[in-house]
Structures are given as C-alpha cells and as structure tokens.
Structure 1
Amino acid sequence: MRILHTSDWHIGRTFHGVDLQMDQVRVLAEIAALVESEQVDVVVIAGDVYDRSVPSADAVRACNSALVAIRDAGAIIVATSGNHDSPARLGAGADFAAAGGLHLFTTVAGIAEPVQLADQHGSVLFYGIPYLEPDVCRREMGVPGARTHADVLTAAMERIRQHAAAQEPGVRSVVLAHAFVVGGESTGSERSISVGGVETVAAGVFSGVDYVALGHLHSPQVIDHPVRYSGSPLPYSFGERTHRKGVWIVDLAADGLADVRLVELTPVRGLSQLTGTLPELLADPIHESIEADYISAVLTDDVRPVDAMRKLQERFPHAVRVEWERPGGNPELRYRDRVRGRTDSEVVSSFLADVRSEATADELKLVEDALSASMAETRG
C-alpha cells in the first residue's frame, strides 16, 4: 500500500494580510497530481486542514475542490482535526463523507475505531487522533487526572494498541496525530498548543505501530524512522523561507514499513528578507531574481523613509512587511527580541520581577492557571 502523508494545509490563512488562497489552490492541485503520478492509495492529512475554527465560504470551497481532486486521482482520504480546526465543523457529515472515500477523525470516541483498508498483503488499520486538549477531553479519555498532552496522548495510544492487539496477526497499522513531539523543531508560524511547557510528547508514546503521520510542525522532519512530520505545503512565515516543502510517500509491505521518501513540492512564490537603505533596495541589481518573492524588508536609513511600503512595492509588488531599524540602535532594547523564544508564563514572571519582586511558586501557579483558562476560552 502506498500512502501520501501531508498536513497543516491551513486553508484560509493570510500572510501579513495577503490572501494565500490562490497559492494554496495551486499547491494542493500539485498534491492531487502526485497522487495520480505516484499511484497513491491513501492520502493522510494530519490536522489543521483549515486555519480557523470557522473557515470562510471561500476556504471551504477551496478545501472541497482539493479533496475532490485527490479522490478523483484515485486515493482514499483519511484526515484528523488539528488545533486550528473546529472538530464539530470539520467532522460534520463524517459518516456520509466516508461513503465517498473521505474518512474524518474528529472525536475521542473514534480513536479506537479505525478505517480498515486492504492491499494484496491484507488489512491496514488507519487510526486518527484529533488534537486533544487535556482540560477538555481528560474525563472522556478516562484519565481525569491528566494535565498534559503527553497524558492524554498516552491514553489514546493505549486504546489504539489494545484494539490493534485484538486483530489477526499480520494486520498493519498507521496512526495520524496532531501534536508537538520531543525532537521536533518549530518554525514560529505554528500556534502554541499549551502554556507552561506541557505541550511536548515523547516519541515513545507512539510505539507499536508501523507508521505515525504527524501534524502541527511546519517543516518535514524525521523524529524516528516511522515517526515523521510532513510539514505544511506552503511556508507560512519568513522563518520558513529556507524550507523545502514536500510530502512523504510511504510504502507498506507485508511485514510493515518498507520505504519512506520525501517528494518536494514546487514553490509557489519565494520568501526573501532584505536589509538596507530604501534607495539601495530599490536600485541594487542583485535583487532582480527575487522581485516576484514575498519580501520582508528592514530599512536602515538614517531617517525613517516616508511611504516606504508603496515605494518598495513599485519594484517588489509582493512586499508584505517593512520595518525601520534606527542605525546604531540597541537591539537589546527591542521588546520583540527580548521575549522571543520565551513562554507566556516566563514573560509574565519576568514582568513581575521587574516591577515588583520575584513571583512565588503559588503566584506562578495562579498565572499558569489563568493563561490556561484564557487559551481554553479562546479555542472554545
């Protein structure tokens, strides 16, 4: 059986205010073409199909067109919901969709109810673990004391292993999950899935299956040979400008995983970062090759240029971001740089220390509880 692993489509996303739908339509059409040329049997989408829990009508139409194209190319589709998706909306009509070859995993109840497909070697079970918010699903998962993503994912995988162990010998298994696995590298464009440093999950949680198709992180990554992120099909931040976007082509043989290879996707539009004075950026011929890229520019003029974005767009029509950096300025004073890479609770703790005194352990616990409640309310 041949599987194409993709994730994090984020249909409906904007890039610094620019609508990416046409870019997404193009890259998803390329994935559909790969299904046909590679003779793919199953496409797995490991979460974040949409960028918002309430996608626009245009985003829904673009998604439906992509799914139809993949199905017409000959593949069954198996997908899970991610932290950007609304499980209820994505999973609406799931039973009806399954009759047409689109299988959606969006509920806790469906974790141990796999899609069973077959090839010349026998059955392959596809299990889907939707994004699990510990505070929301721990009781339904049967682990009322769970506080972390590792706790609820461990419980989910125990259900899956119990179900798989009850099958006939030789049955192979594939798991789709949307999570931040230890060893993965984030790019900055992913939305945090927790606060307080409890979002990560050990790769060993997913042991005992033939392949684990992960979503959430936006670059293709190998955590362990059978545990991989496909990444997003498009770059969604300038931090991803050097990524080689792609999909994994996974081959299962009679005894399990036989081969995995990355097929790179054609970049729709490059991303480039430029630094210099406005006259330099407008005149330097070295930038001719990137004039059609999405551009992020840091201007170093002695005086902040007037109407800089309009002037940049005369040469770089897809310039989306411009920043003026005062020459000789102290970057340590820039708040954005000071908080980069720090968790929400660390930022709050540092603020308290600056304006008052070091926070006590009880105070930090209150801060983390408040942040968790705020994020849960936002997701709801």
Structure 2
Amino acid sequence: MRLLHTSDWHLGRSFHRVGLLDAQRAFLDHLVATVRAERVDAVLVAGDVYDRAVPPLSAVELYDATLHRLADLGVPTVMISGNHDSARRLGVGSGLMGRAGIHLRTDPAACHRPVVLRDSYGEVAVYGLPYLEPALVREEFAAERADHTAVLTAAMDRVRADLAARPAGTRGVVLAHAFVTGAAPCDSERDITAGGVEAVPAAVFDGVHYAALGHLHGCQTVTERIRYSGSPLAYSFSEEHHRKSMWLVDLGPGGEVTAERVDTPVPRPLARLRGRLDDLLADPKLERHADAWVEATLTDPYRPHEPMAALAKRFPHILALAFDPEGAEEDAALSYARRLRGRTDTQIAEDFLRHVRGAGPDARERQVLRQAFDAVRADTARTERP
C-alpha cells in the first residue's frame, strides 16, 4: 500500500507579515498532483492543518477545496488535529466526511477505532491519535501522570489492543502529533511542554508498522518506521537549511517499509546574513541571495543610518533586521531574550525564582509550578472549544 505522509500545513500562517496563502495553495496543488501521478492509496495528514484555532476564512476555503479534490480522486485521507488546531472545530462534520473518504480523527477517546483500508495483501488499520493535551486527557486514559509520555503510552496501549484483536497479518499505521526524543526541533513550533516533560521515547510507538508524525517542521527519520514529514513550507528563518518535502511510503505485505522524499514547491529561499552594513552591501558572494527572503544581523559598532532602506536596494525581499554590535556591552533586553530562547515555561519560572531568592525550587515547589502551568494550558484549550 502506498501512503503519502504530510503534516503541519499551518493554513492561514504568514512569514514575517508576508502572506503565504498562494504558496500554501501551490503546495496543495502539488500534493493533489502527487497523489494522482504516484498512484497513492491514502493520504496521511499528521496535524496542525491550520495555524490557529479560529483560522481566517481564506484558509478554511483552501482547506475545503483541497478535501473536495482528494475526495473526487477517490483516495482516502486520514487527518488528525494538532496543537495549533481546535479539535472540536476541525472535527465538525467528520461523520459525513467519512462517507466521502475524508476521515477526521480529532476525538482522543476514539483513537483505537481505525480507518480500515485494503489492498491485495489484506487490511491496513490506520489509527489517528490527535494531539493529546495531558491535563485534558489524563482522566480519559487513566494515565498515571499528566505528561505526554504517560498519555501517549496509554493511547497506544489501546491501539495495540485493537490491532492484536484483528485478523492475523493486519498491518498497523498510526498518526500522532508529538515531540519524539532524538528528533530536532526549530523556532517555528509552538512549545507543547506540559508537566515539564515534552519529549516522548520512540518506544511509545512499538507494535505498529509505521508511525506518521507531525509537530516538528524538519523532515526527519527517527527510525525506519517512525518519521516526521515536516512542514511543507518554511515558517521561520531557523528553517533556512530545511529541505521541504513529504514522505511517499510503501507498506509491504509483511509491514516492510520503504520511503522516499517528494520535494514541495519553495516560494523563495531563505538567507540569514550577518556582518557590517557596508560588507553586506558590497560582498559579491551575497548576490545569490538577491531573490531570497533575508534576515540580516548588523554588527556595526554604531547603528547605521536607515539600514533597512539600504539593504532593501540589494535584497528587495528582506524581512527582518537585528543588531549585534561588535565589542559592545550586551543589551540587557537582548541578553534576556537570548537566555529565554529554547527554554520551556517551567524552566523560565524556575530560573526567575532562583534569581529572586538565590535558590531554585525544591521538589514540592517544582510540582506546584508544573501544576499551575498545566492548569493554564487546560484553561486555554477549553476556551478554544465552541
């Protein structure tokens, strides 16, 4: 069976205030063309279909048109909600859509009820695990702890139990939206930390033949059977060196997996430039970035006069400008921003407590902090429900 694995469309998102709707439309045109040209048997979309819980109308229209095109091809599509999506909104009409071959999996309680596909070798059970917010689903799964590993393990236990009860030789595929240990994140993903623990071990997905993951924006292979497709477009300059693609996965009669990457259209390359203004304007090696979206960091000792205007003459698509003067004392605000980069909410709170009183939290205080952040996340998730 041939599967096309994609994720993290983030419909409705912009790139440094530049609208990406046309680029997202070009990607989805490419996806539909790939389904047709490569004779794909099913499309797997591993979450973050939209960029926010209440997407703009233009994004909803693009989503709707794409689902109609996939349904017209007669190719089943299995789609889960991610941490950017409103699961309830995305799941509206799922029963009716399923009759057209568009299978939306947004209810955690139904994660063990697969979409059953068939080829000449037998059945393939495709399970959809929507993004699981630990504080909201712990009770549903009777998980020992309110963290990602505990709730995902409990959900996968249900999947494994259902798969084991099916006819011998049934192949199992799971879609999930999570951060798996060993994978590489980037700046454009929203932190999904809960309870201070965000990464889950790859062993959580033992027992299925293929795990189609979403959330991380870089295409990568955790194991031969566990892969991230990554986002089809770059959503931050930290993705400068990403090769954007989808996975074309062939699932053999015994669950063997072979996969190849299918590149996606790139609206513009990205470039991160650093140096003094005069050097950036004069260096002939930088001419190759004239058509790129550019982020420039100036290292001049003193801020130049109207640098953005000067840079825009050579790099007409420059989008971001920062200053990091050589030899200057580090600006307090900039230093603070750098210290926060890559740190979780809980870690930031612990650092603040350590700064204020000279000692970090003890075990009891750390638990209180984590419970407080979990409560905030749960309240935020509830407000997104219609």
TM-score tier (shorter): over 0.9
- Which residue in the other structure is 1:335 paired with? 336
Deviation at 1:329, TM superposition (A): 2.4
Separation in 1, partners of 2:329, 2:65? 50
Residue correspondences, number: 379
Separation in 2, partners of 1:74, 1:315? 48
- Which residue in the other structure is 1:354 paired with? 355
- Which residue in the other structure is 2:259 paired with? 260
- Which residue in the other structure is 1:368 paired with? 370
Find the residue that maps to 2:184 and give its secondary structure.
coil
Separation in 2, partners of 1:357, 1:271? 42
Q: Does 1:116 align with 2:111?
A: no
Query: Which residue identity lines up with residue 38 of structure 1 in the other structure?
Result: E
Query: Which residue identity lines up with residue 164 of structure 2 in the other structure?
Result: A
- Which residue in the other structure is 1:322 paired with? 321
Q: Does 1:34 align with 2:52?
A: no
1:61-80 map, 5 Å: 61-80=61-80
- Which residue in the other structure is 1:186 paired with? 185
- Over 3 Å counting, the alpha-carbon distance change for 1:344 and 1:109 in structure 2 is closer
- After superposition, give the CA deviation of every residue in 1:92-140 in whole Å (9 maximum; x if it has no partner): 0001111111100000232111111111111111100000111111112
Q: Which runs of 5+ in 2 are unaligned?
A: none
Separation in 1, partners of 2:381, 2:276? 42
1:73-222 map, 5 Å: 73-143=73-143, 145-222=144-221
Deviation at 1:331, TM superposition (A): 5.1
Separation in 1, partners of 2:297, 2:183? 29
1:271-286 map, 5 Å: 271-286=270-285
Query: Which residue identity lines up with residue 319 of structure 1 in the other structure?
Result: I
Deviation at 1:12, TM superposition (A): 0.9
Q: Say whether the 8 Å CA contact 2:191–2:344 is kept in structure 1.
A: no
Q: Say whether the 8 Å CA contact 1:332–1:338 is kept in structure 2.
A: no
Deviation at 1:196, TM superposition (A): 4.8
| Dislocated runs of 4+, deviation >6 Å | none
Q: Say whether the 8 Å CA contact 2:123–2:170 is kept in structure 1.
A: yes
Q: Say whether the 8 Å CA contact 2:115–2:127 is kept in structure 1.
A: yes
Separation in 2, partners of 1:258, 1:206? 15
Find the residue that maps to 2:109 and give its secondary structure.
coil
Find the residue that maps to 1:222 and give its secondary structure.
strand
- After superposition, give the CA deviation of every residue in 1:295-347 in whole Å (9 maximum; x if it has no partner): 10011233323433333333323211101222212459622222333222222
Q: Say whether the 8 Å CA contact 2:127–2:173 is kept in structure 1.
A: yes
- Over 3 Å counting, the alpha-carbon distance change for 1:335 and 1:261 in structure 2 is same
Between 1:318-327 and 1:87-96, the stretch displaced more is 318-327
- Which residue in the other structure is 1:288 paired with? 287
Separation in 2, partners of 1:279, 1:74? 57
Question: TM-score when scaled to structure 1?
Answer: 0.94
Find the residue that maps to 1:75 and give its secondary structure.
coil
Separation in 2, partners of 1:349, 1:31? 44
- Over 3 Å counting, the alpha-carbon distance change for 1:109 and 1:342 in structure 2 is closer
Find the residue that maps to 1:23 and give its secondary structure.
helix
Deviation at 1:203, TM superposition (A): 1.0
- Over 3 Å counting, the alpha-carbon distance change for 1:367 and 1:142 in structure 2 is closer
Question: TM-score when scaled to structure 2?
Answer: 0.93
Find the residue that maps to 1:256 and give its secondary structure.
coil
Deviation at 1:89, TM superposition (A): 0.6
Separation in 1, partners of 2:183, 2:299? 35
Deviation at 1:36, TM superposition (A): 1.4
Separation in 2, partners of 1:67, 1:313? 39
- After superposition, give the CA deviation of every residue in 1:51-77 in whole Å (9 maximum; x if it has no partner): 101111011112222333344445211
- Which residue in the other structure is 2:19 paired with? 19
- Over 3 Å counting, the alpha-carbon distance change for 1:270 and 1:373 in structure 2 is same
Q: Say whether the 8 Å CA contact 1:349–1:358 is kept in structure 2.
A: no
Deviation at 1:253, TM superposition (A): 1.9
Separation in 1, partners of 2:149, 2:356? 35
Separation in 2, partners of 1:184, 1:175? 18
Q: Say whether the 8 Å CA contact 1:83–1:193 is kept in structure 2.
A: yes
- Over 3 Å counting, the alpha-carbon distance change for 1:367 and 1:109 in structure 2 is closer
- Which residue in the other structure is 1:239 paired with? 238
Q: Which runs of 5+ in 1 are unaligned?
A: none
Find the residue that maps to 2:140 and give its secondary structure.
coil
Query: Which residue identity lines up with residue 123 of structure 2 in the other structure?
Result: S
Q: Say whether the 8 Å CA contact 1:33–1:73 is kept in structure 2.
A: no
The alignment-based identity, stated in percent, is 45
Deviation at 1:46, TM superposition (A): 0.4
Separation in 2, partners of 1:371, 1:5? 33
Q: Say whether the 8 Å CA contact 1:331–1:337 is kept in structure 2.
A: no
- Over 3 Å counting, the alpha-carbon distance change for 1:182 and 1:76 in structure 2 is same
